[in-house]
Chain A
Amino acid sequence: MTAADVHRTILAVWRIEQPRLITSLSRMLRDVPLAEDLTQEALLSALEHWPAAGVPEKPGAWLMATAKRRALDHLRRGAMLVRKHEMIALDMDGEQQAMPDLDAALDDDIGDELLRLIFTACHPLLSREARAALALRMICGLTTEEIARAFLLPDATIAQRIVRAKRTLSESGLAYETPRGKELPERLASVLEVVYLIFNEGFTAARGVDWLRPQLCNEALRIGRVLTSIAPYEPEAHGLLALMELNASRTAARTDAAGEPILMLEQNRALWDQLQIRRGMQALGRARELGGADGFYALQAAIIACHAQAMTADDTDWPRISGLYAELAKLVRSPIIELNRAVAVGMAEGPEAALPIVDRLVQEPALKAYHLLGSVRGDLLHKLGRYEEARAAFEAAAALAGNKREQDLLRRRAAEAADAAMSS
C-alpha cells in the first residue's frame, strides 16, 4: 500500500466509526464541540501511527480507546469531581478489557445519542450553512477540505464556519438533549431543512466533475435514513427520505453523454433506479401510515412518486399531480409551487385551465426575473394557438434566462411561434 492508499483507508474507517466516537465522547463530556475536537485528535493520532504500524485488526476499537483516553485526560486536567472521574476510569478499564470483543462495539446502541448529536449540529441557533457544514463534519465524518470541495468554497470559509458554529454552541450553554414536546417539531424542521439543503446542493451538480459534489446527495440520503431509523415515528422524516430517494433514483438518467441535463419527461426511464424507487415508496408509505400524508416533504414526495410510477411519460397521472400541488399550495404559499401547479393543471385539464393561474403570477414580484414563468406561459399560449403572444413570452423569457443553453432553447421556441403565426 502506498502512503496515499493508507491515508484513504484511514479516512474510510474514520467515516464509519466517527459518529460512534463523537456520541460516546459527547456522553462522557456533555460538550459536543469539545467531543468533536477530541475525536479529531484521535483521527490525527491514527494518521500518525497507522502508516508505520499498519491498520489495526479492529480499527474502530483502537479509535474509540484513543478518543476516550483523550477525553479522560481532559477530565483529569479539568479536575472534575473525583467520583465521576473514577467511575469513568472504571468504565474505561472494563471497556478496554472487552476490547478484543467486537461484539461490545456492536452492542453500543447509539441511536438516542446520535439523534441528540444531530439535533445539536442542526440547532436553529446556527445559520443553515453552518448547520450543513457541522452536520457533514460531525455526522458524516467529512473533513473540512472535503466539505469545502463539495460546496465549491475555499477551505478557510468552511473551517471558519465550523469554528464559529462550535463557538456558538459552546457559548449558548444549550442542553445536550433531544427536544421534546412543543419544541420537537420546530427543531426537527431545522434538521430536515439542512438535510434537504445538502441533498439539493449535490443534486444540482452535474455528474463526474468532482465525486464529492454528487456525494452530498448520498450523505444527505444517509442522514435521512439514519433519522428514520432512530426517530421512526416522525412522519416528515420519512417524507423527506422518500423525496430524496425518489429524486435520486433518476440520477443516471438526468444527463446525456455530454453531461447536459435531460428534462424528466424526456428521460429514459429504464435508467431509473428501481431499488431506490422501492425504498422511496416504502418511506412514503411509512409517512402516510404515521398520518403524515399532507406534510411538506411527503406531498412533494407524492408528486415525484407519480412520475416514478409511470411507465412512460404519457402514463403520468397529471390530475393527481395537480391535486397534490393544490394541497401543497395550501400548505405553503409560494409562487414557484403555484407555477408548478399551473404546469400540472395544463397537462391534466388543458392550457385554457392553466393560463389564468399563470396570468395571475405575472404580477408576482418574486417571479419578475424568473425565466421559467415566461417559458410556461409561452408554452400554454402556443398550445392555445395564440402564437404572437407566445412568441413575445418566449422572447422575454430568453432575455431572463441565466445560461446560453436555456436561452437557445427559448429563442428556438420563439422562432417556432413566429413561424406558426405567419402560417396561421
Chain B
Amino acid sequence: MRFMFIVKSAHNGPPTPQILEAMHKLADREIKAGRMLDNGGLMPLAMGAQVRITDGKLSVVDGPFVEAKEVIGGYAIFELPGKEEALASAKEFMQLHKDFFPGWEGTCELRTFAERP
C-alpha cells in the first residue's frame, strides 16, 4: 500500500541542526530500506500562491496568507505492507521532533493512496 505523510506545523522558526540531521538519517535509512519512494520539503507558503474558486469565480491569491494556521512543510511517499507499518513509521518520525526540536508542535498526517480502479 502506498502512503503519503504530510507534515504540517504552525511553527515558523528555523529547524535545529539536530532535527535536520536526525531527519536526514531517518530518510536515508528509509530510502535504503526501500520503503520511502519520494520525499521533499516545501518553501514557506509566502513564496507560493493559491488558485481558488469561490462563488464560481477563479482567482489567484499571492502569499502571505494570514488565515493559514498549520502549513504544509514537507511530504514523503512510502510503500508499506499496511497502515500499522505506516503508523509505526510516522510515530518514529514524530518522536524525532519531540527529541530534537524542543518546542515544535505539529502534525504528521498519514494518508493512504486511493486504489486505482
Contact = CB atoms under 8 A, between A and B. Distances in A.
Interface in B45-99: 77, 79, 81-82, 84-85, 87-89, 92, 95-96, 99
A275 B81 CA distance: 18
A15 B85 contact: yes
Interface string B16-35: 00100110011001011111
Interface residues of B, number: 30
A222 B92 contact: no
Interface in B1-44: 18, 21-22, 25-26, 29, 31-35, 37-38
Contacts of B77: 275
For chain A, which range describes its interface: under 10, 10 to 19, 20 to 34, or 35 or more residues? 35 or more
A19 B32 CA distance: 12
A60 B95 contact: no
A224 interface: yes
A60 B32 contact: no
Summarize A's interface: helix, strand, loop or mixed.
helix
Interface stretch (A68-76, A181-189, A225-233, A409-417): A225-233
Interface stretch (A99-107, A318-326, A329-337, A381-389): A99-107
Contact of B85 (A12, A59, A221, A279): A12
A12 B37 contact: no
B contact face: mostly helix, strand, loop, or mixed? helix
B81 A223 contact: no
A316 interface: no
A102 B34 contact: no
Contacts of B88: 9, 12-13, 16, 59
Contacts of A111: 32
Contact of B22 (A103, A223, A229): A103
A55 B117 CA distance: 36
Given A103-B22, A275-B77, A279-B37, A252 B116 contact: yes
A11 B22 contact: no
Nearest to A20: B29
Interface string A269-313: 001000100010000000000000000000000000000000000
B63 to A, nearest CB: 28
B58 to A, nearest CB: 26
Contacts of A368: none
A200 interface: no
A226 B96 CA distance: 23
A360 interface: no
Contacts of A8: 82, 84
Nearest to B100: A103
B116 A271 contact: yes
Contacts of A101: 99
A102 B31 CA distance: 18
A190 interface: no
Contacts of A58: 95
B19 to A, nearest CB: 10
- Top 8 A-B pairs ranked by shortest CB distance? A225-B34, A12-B84, A222-B34, A252-B116, A229-B32, A106-B25, A12-B85, A8-B84
Interface of B: 18, 21-22, 25-26, 29, 31-35, 37-38, 77, 79, 81-82, 84-85, 87-89, 92, 95-96, 99-100, 115-117
Interface of A: 8-9, 11-13, 15-16, 19, 57-60, 101-103, 106-107, 111, 211, 215, 218, 221-226, 229-230, 252-253, 257, 271, 275, 279
